[in-house]
Amino acid sequence: MNKVFIAPRRYVQGPQALEQAGALLGALGKRVLVLWDAQVKGVTGATLLASMREAGLEVVDVAFAGDSTKAEAARVAGLARECRADVVMGVGGGKTLDTAKAAAAAAGVKTVTCPTVASNDSPTSSYTVWYDERGNCLGFESWGVNPDLVLVDTAVIARAPVRSFVAGMGDALATWLEAEACFKARGPNLAGGVATQAALALARLCYDILLEHGVDAKRAVERQLVTPAVEKVVEANVLLSGLGFESGGCATAHMVANCLPSFPECHGLMHGHEVGFGLVTQLCLDDDLPVERRNRIVDFEIAVGLPVTFADIGLAGVGRDRLARIGEICAGPGSLCENHPFPVTAGDIVNALLAADALGAARKEALGV
Ligand SMILES: [Zn+2]
């Protein structure tokens, strides 16, 4: 299998990055369809629209219906064709960005993502996660191309809820451990090949930045401050996590995370929280992991407020019977759990889930939390 590495064409990050939107978008086209919801428009609209007007761009303002459904993407693609947009730009969270990517691909125009939260690794990727009208996840689809521009304003992100910033750290923290597992197993990445040395190095950098600066960055975001630590962690959460998962590959942390929404108790969690607990599960599955390294990862999750026990994800007291279904899916065909250098059975997964809960509780006790 070939080694494949993919990435967006341009990534721009800074505390006033939105002010450059006009100049950056002008290089891509003249007419821009902007997809956002009312709340996001309230936060970013004045700066973005002024910058685009100043650059002489035409703006088509479209309100996002709220979920990344195929119907919504088709509606936005229709509007993009109707108004002959050159660019579709999604401004907001993962669902807005994913819908913008799908609509741009369907209309055959350029794509820009402008995340207003650093909660997940969607902005740089070629993927859309699809949902149905009831909010159930239907899986994901690649458009074969990554965004032409990813525009990240760190002042906007520092004013977003801290919880979303922490979720982004959960999604990003798993990146290296999953890419490393995948590489050892010679498993496929999500770019249509196997990992390059570059993808592994970026995934490792993502991990190192979080362990060194994650706690400082969270404290700053609690005060809505943009500090050097916040800049570094936003880069880890958005750029490095995105490049690392797509060109590095995923494993058990994401597989368990993708199964958790089947429990109604977990519906309040963000993707990154689910990955945070999925990572503790992966750590309990791997017999080739030094105890100090494993504990350091769990202690970091506790320090920033990521979930490490069943109680933390709303599943206090859950038994083997309810976990068995996750075990079966994880051990089933096409599972990301195949991306480990050892076979994974349904029983292994159930044991690892229960061991993760016990490990999380033990580390909390050791830390006096
Ligand atoms: Zn993820």
Do 150 and 48 fall into the same domain? yes
Q: What is the domain range of residue 53?
A: 11-158
Section 44-59 average pLDDT: 98
Is residue 1 in some structural domain? no
139 has pLDDT over 90:
no
Residue where one domain finishes, among candidates 158, 185, 209:
158
Instruction: Give pLDDT, residue 133.
Output: 85
Is residue 282 in some structural domain? yes
Confidence of residue 261 (pLDDT cuts 50, 70, 90): confident
Is residue 93 in some structural domain? yes
Residue where one domain finishes, among candidates 158, 176, 210:
158
Do 217 and 345 fall into the same domain? yes
How many angstroms does the Cα of residue 111 sit away from the middle of ligand 1?
A: 20
Task: Return the structure tokens found at 65.
Answer: 């219906």
How many angstroms does the Cα of residue 72 sit away from the middle of ligand 1?
A: 22
Do 177 and 138 fall into the same domain? no
Closest CA to 99 of 145, 134, 130: 130
Contacts of 346 (CB under 8 A, 6+ apart): 324, 327, 328, 330, 331
Unique residue bearing structure tokens 């404290």: 219
Instruction: Give pLDDT, residue 4.
Output: 97
Do 198 and 269 fall into the same domain? yes
DSSP letter assigned to residue 238: I
What mean pLDDT value characterizes the chain?
96
Do 154 and 176 fall into the same domain? no
pLDDT in tens, 300-312: 999 999 999 999 9
How many angstroms does the Cα of residue 26 sit away from the middle of ligand 1?
A: 31
How many angstroms does the Cα of residue 27 sit away from the middle of ligand 1?
A: 30
Instruction: Give pLDDT, residue 221.
Output: 98
CA angle 264, 266, 267 (to 5 degrees): 70
Distances (CA, A) of 109 to 60, 147, 270, 324: 14, 11, 30, 45
How many angstroms does the Cα of residue 240 sit away from the middle of ligand 1?
A: 12
- The residue type found at 215 is V
Is residue 2 in some structural domain? no
Contacts of 227 (CB under 8 A, 6+ apart): 216, 217, 220
Confidence of residue 136 (pLDDT cuts 50, 70, 90): confident
Is residue 179 in some structural domain? yes
Residue 108, phi-psi category: left (phi > 0), alpha (psi -120 to 50), beta (remainder): left
Is residue 62 in some structural domain? yes
Do 208 and 71 fall into the same domain? no
Do 300 and 240 fall into the same domain? yes
Structural domain count of the chain: 2
DSSP letter assigned to residue 265: G
Strand blocks (E) in the chain: 11-14, 31-36, 58-63, 87-92, 110-115, 127-131, 137-142, 149-153
- The residue type found at 173 is L
Q: Phi and psi of 6, rounded to 5°?
A: -130, 155
What is the C-alpha separation between 250 and 306, in angstroms, rounded? 19
Do 174 and 43 fall into the same domain? no
Q: Report the interhelical angle of 252-259 vs 320-331 (nearest 10°).
A: 130
Do 133 and 276 fall into the same domain? no
How many angstroms does the Cα of residue 60 sit away from the middle of ligand 1?
A: 30
How many angstroms does the Cα of residue 281 sit away from the middle of ligand 1?
A: 15
Do 133 and 215 fall into the same domain? no
270 has pLDDT over 80:
yes
Instruction: Give pLDDT, residue 328.
Output: 97
How many angstroms does the Cα of residue 116 sit away from the middle of ligand 1?
A: 17
Is residue 6 in some structural domain? no
Is residue 5 in some structural domain? no
How many angstroms does the Cα of residue 131 sit away from the middle of ligand 1?
A: 15
Instruction: Give pLDDT, residue 79.
Output: 98
Confidence of residue 262 (pLDDT cuts 50, 70, 90): confident
Section 56-78 average pLDDT: 97
How many angstroms does the Cα of residue 254 sit away from the middle of ligand 1?
A: 6
Instruction: Give pLDDT, residue 134.
Output: 77
pLDDT in tens, 298-352: 999 999 999 999 999 999 999 999 999 999 999 999 999 999 999 999 999 999 9
Q: Give the CATH number of the domain where residue 78 resides.
A: 3.40.50.1970
Q: How many other C-beta atoms lie within 10 A of the C-beta of residue 328?
A: 15
pTM: 0.96
Q: How many other C-beta atoms lie within 10 A of the C-beta of residue 202?
A: 24
Do 152 and 281 fall into the same domain? no
Section 83-103 average pLDDT: 97
What is the C-alpha separation between 355 and 252, in angstroms, rounded? 14
What is the C-alpha separation between 49 and 30, in angstroms, rounded? 14
Do 169 and 154 fall into the same domain? no
Residue where one domain finishes, among candidates 112, 138, 158:
158
